[in-house]
Amino acid sequence: MIRNIRLIVEYDGSAYCGWQRQENGISIQQLLEESLGRMTGEEIRVVGSGRTDAGVHALRQVAHFRTASRLGERNLLMGINSLLPADIAVLEVRGADPSFHARFSVKSKVYLYRICNRPVRPALERNRAWFVWEPLDLARIGEALPLFRGTHDFTSFCSTHTDSPNRIRTILAIDAERDLSGMVHISLEADGFLRYMVRTIVGTLVDVGRGKLPPEEVAAILQAKDRRRAGLTAPAHGLFLKDVIYG
């Protein structure tokens, strides 16, 4: 009997070319498939909820695979974690309905972007936050956030090389807050994301927080549908896939 197995995966993306298998580097998908293949003796294909780029991390990436193996969920969990490198951990292994698809069943995704906003560069967070030394005005950033909410064409806020012909997405929630250590957290939930969309939104918000861009300019940038109008693409290492939500 073929079973459908759902995984929740946490990883530090610093050393990898991204989630998806590629010829020119080691990916998260590749290591999961190789580890599961060793355990089951099968050629395993792991399907993720979406692709994270090189250097991007995940707190709760969701994936699924199909197998005829009779290995129990706990044995799969313990076995795969014994084979994976220390910067990848499978947090949960659970049987899923045959119709469950990690990518096509997604209702929304939540991303978190971390900015270390202080005068001195971080040592411990250097691969997990973008260092911005100029003070960021969160009140100004807060004025810009509502302009992103709702359904928009995000052509101005994605890669010019994105492979998606439809660039309309709905941002369900977007928030920014600063903790006591000076770390700024920007959280976004949407029904889908284009390539570099979160990172370009963050780069634009940083320009707003620095005082280089008026908050109300975000509306004009969205209308322009021109990537050159938005801010820089924030570095990959500050970005985390925080959660994947299913209906």
Q: What is the pLDDT of residue 89?
A: 99
CA distance 81 to 87: 10
**CATH class of the domain comprising 107-246:** alpha beta
Give me the residue spans of the domains in the chain.
3-96, 107-246
Does 3.30.70.580 match the CATH number of domain 3-96? Answer: yes
pTM higher than the cut 0.85: yes
Q: How many CB atoms lie within 10 A of CB 181?
A: 10
Q: What is the percent of the chain with per-residue pLDDT over 70, rounded to a whole number?
A: 100
pLDDT greater than 90 at residue 163: no
Query: CB of 204 within 8 A of CB of 162?
Result: no
Query: E-assigned strands of the chain?
Result: 3-11, 47-48, 57-67, 88-96, 106-116, 130-131, 150-153, 168-178, 183-190, 239-246
Domain 3-96 and domain 107-246 have a common topology: yes
Q: Which residues are catalytic?
A: 53
Look at 35-49, 88-102, 122-136, 150-164 and tell me which has the smallest mean pLDDT: 150-164
SS3 state of residue 219:
helix
